[in-house]
Structure 1
Amino acid sequence: MPKKQRSLNQVKEDISVRVLREKLPLEWVVHSYGADYGIDCVVELFDFIGEDKKIAETLGENFFVQLKSSDCIEYASRKVYGRGNVTKGSLTEDKSDCTKIQVAKFQLDMSDILTVQSMGIAIPVLLILVDTNTERAFFICLNDYIDKVLIPEDPLYASKGSKTIYIPTANEIFNEESALVALRAYGKRSKMYGAFSLFSYQLTEIWRIQGRTAAPHNIPLEQAVDMIKTFLDIALRQDIWAGHEFWQPMQWSHRELLELKEKLSRGVKNEDYEQFLTYCSDYIWHRLTNLSNMYEELVREWYMPTYLAMLTSYLPQEENHESDQLNTDKLN
């Protein structure tokens, strides 16, 4: 009777798990996901509290991982073209506007792709590919890849048995803070979508008291100001404002909310009632709700193998990590 044996695939899986843990901050936790149904693990983000860094506190942020490994990854150049917004229409490309992206190619089973698609876009699933020869690790957000790359380029993708995923080699994971910005941004995604929904609700209610909806609800100044104060407190309580140095619109909106809080502390005069409501709806909450539009059109295309991603996701090449092949440090 033969002794217990391990397959080469099992060895590679162990290597990939070890490499992933080494690439991530020590304080982050990698939770195994049990039987493989398309998700291998969940990464939960923690940050140390205190200068001594003896205690780490959860951020309430996480992302799912499909962890893959290979000792024969094909590295190649992928041509990408300027193109129209695929969120608003079918793919149109400008063949005169072309650049090349260095990518790692991986063949992913359609069952894995469809599993991720069925999960929606609020909780990101990252395909992390480990080269077991070099122990380099690369990431791509599959939720975004499906919507921004796969479907526009191949609308009949679901009829295929598998699809080649193109992962920019610039998306390399390093255990350095500047190189972890993208992963931190993905960890915040579910919070962001929750906040977007909240801001939309609040704006609609402000429109109601302005008489700008099908079911208006006129209320006196004192009650309206109280409602705005409540909306403001709830908006500021959302755990989305810190750690967004990579996306300035978040910083702008946070600053505007704080300015509104300061204005409210001085009171609102009766003669300024209508102007105050207009300021809230057409400036403060208009910009808050527009965050979701920008997130869909721009942020979800960050780190994709596309022309727009190359323009918006990385620092200039001369500022790259010294050990990387391309620009990998952080979002603009």
Structure 2
Amino acid sequence: MSVGKRRADQHLIDQDGISLLRANLPRHWLLREYRPDYGLDFTIETFKTADPGSSATRVATYETLGEHVFVQLKSLTEPDVYSLDIYGRSNVEKGPEQLNRKDKIGTIETYRIQLEMSELITVERMGIGVPVLLVVADLSRQRCSYVCLNDYIDKILIPRHVDFRKARSRVIHVPIWTEMASEAGLAGLRWYGKRAKLLAAFQRFRYQYSELQHRDNGDWRPLARYFAERIIPYDFWDDTEMCELISYYGSRLRQFLATGQPGCITLLEDAVPESFRNEEFFEHMKQQDVFELWRCLSHLSNLYEDVWREWFLPTGLGQAVSAP
């Protein structure tokens, strides 16, 4: 007797995983499917509430933030959960990984996902501008947890192995505590969504600081004001509650535009020796106050590389500064 085309059980599992992923995202965010896919299954586009609507009309509208992350989805019916010991280690941007086995940060639960090297190489080639999240859809526990593959490669695989590409595949540890529906998991998704715009802004901050230094003995104030007017419209100054330092520098920029001084350096006039109390000295300190703001802004890219890219990773630093 002839038979027709058959549907594999894995297709149903994948379908359930997609439904679970959608259910774990804010309902006003957009999930787009990639077809055909080469290691990238979806993109997530984030939105914010533009108008919550009224009790009478109940019509709300949402505005895109221009933020996107890629997703590689692994749907599993009953994935095993493993324990992973987390240790302190050296700064992997300055040398190979050196674990300190005497400095145990703790033990976390993870999913262990085996990824083919071709998938990892594809992500590595993309760079870090737009993050790729490996998402595990745990159908039995009805949760989705994730890890950023770009950062996992840069901060774990490359520092840990002489050449991580020599293996046919690598095991990726996905922390369970990055569950999308949790407060920490949602904060991580929003943080990754802002990556492209933050990296672009950091590049501009460095450029502006360099140009201001060239005006050290010239007419620097109009240039500083112009620079501030160019960067204050960035929408992340008041939308990064997960990173208060960025919000702080946004407030310093606004103060500079309002008063002419950002207030990064506080000068106690009574502590200044009498011989220094002249107009030239105080004008110099006002300049240093402004230049200090741009020096700090230009340093954000260093913080991003050294610290912030390890947020939400199963590393000592990631666990210490971003885990609940």
**Is TM (by shorter chain) over 0.5?**
yes
Count of matched residue positions in the alignment of Structure 1 and Structure 2: 300
Q: 2:306 aligns with which of 297, 303, 309?
A: 297
Structure 1 residues 138, 265: closer, same or farther in 2, change over 3 A? closer
**Can you list the C-alpha shifts for 1:267-304, whole angstroms capped at 9, x where unaligned?**
xxx956544433222x1011101111111111110111
Residue aligning to 1:195:
201
Amino acid of the residue matched to residue 23 of structure 2?
E
**Can you list the C-alpha shifts for 1:103-156, whole angstroms capped at 9, x where unaligned?**
111111111111111000111110101122222211100111111111122232
Deviation at 1:164, TM superposition (A): 0.6
Amino acid of the residue matched to residue 304 of structure 2?
Y
Matched, 1:154 2:161: yes
Q: Which moved more, 1:33-42 or 1:150-159?
A: 150-159
Amino acid of the residue matched to residue 61 of structure 2?
I
Residue aligning to 1:101:
108
Deviation at 1:51, TM superposition (A): 2.7
Amino acid of the residue matched to residue 233 of structure 1?
E
Amino acid of the residue matched to residue 109 of structure 1?
E
Q: 1:225 aligns with which of 218, 221, 239?
A: 221
Unaligned runs of 5+ in 2: 54-58, 263-278
Residue aligning to 1:207:
213
Q: 1:235 aligns with which of 207, 231, 234?
A: 231
8 Å contact kept, 1:206–1:277: no
Structure 1 residues 265, 134: closer, same or farther in 2, change over 3 A? closer
Residue aligning to 2:56:
none
**Can you list the C-alpha shifts for 1:28-74, whole angstroms capped at 9, x where unaligned?**
00011111111111100011222326111101111110111122422
8 Å contact kept, 2:72–2:134: yes
Q: Which moved more, 1:120-129 or 1:241-250?
A: 241-250
Distance 1:149 1:250 in 2: 26
Structure 1 residues 186, 9: closer, same or farther in 2, change over 3 A? same
Residue aligning to 2:137:
130
8 Å contact kept, 2:96–2:160: no
Q: 2:176 aligns with which of 146, 169, 176?
A: 169
Distance 1:72 1:163 in 2: 21
SS in structure 2 of the partner of residue 288 of structure 1: helix
Distance 1:238 1:2 in 2: 60
Structure 1 residues 55, 25: closer, same or farther in 2, change over 3 A? same
Distance 2:203 2:97 in 1: 28
Identity %: 34
Residue aligning to 2:42:
41
Residue aligning to 1:254:
250
Normalised by the size of structure 2, how large is the TM-score?
0.87
What RMSD, in angstroms, separates the aligned Cα atoms of the two structures? 1.9
Structure 1 residues 294, 265: closer, same or farther in 2, change over 3 A? closer
Deviation at 1:177, TM superposition (A): 5.7
8 Å contact kept, 1:21–1:30: yes
**Can you list the C-alpha shifts for 1:136-189, whole angstroms capped at 9, x where unaligned?**
211100111111111122232101111110011111111x66641110000000
Distance 2:142 2:162 in 1: 34
Amino acid of the residue matched to residue 112 of structure 1?
E
Q: Which moved more, 1:121-130 or 1:224-233?
A: 224-233
Q: 1:117 aligns with which of 120, 124, 131?
A: 124
SS in structure 2 of the partner of residue 88 of structure 1: coil
8 Å contact kept, 1:73–1:106: no
8 Å contact kept, 2:151–2:309: yes
Matched, 1:280 2:286: no
Matched, 1:89 2:95: yes
Q: Which moved more, 1:10-19 or 1:188-197?
A: 10-19
Distance 1:29 1:18 in 2: 13
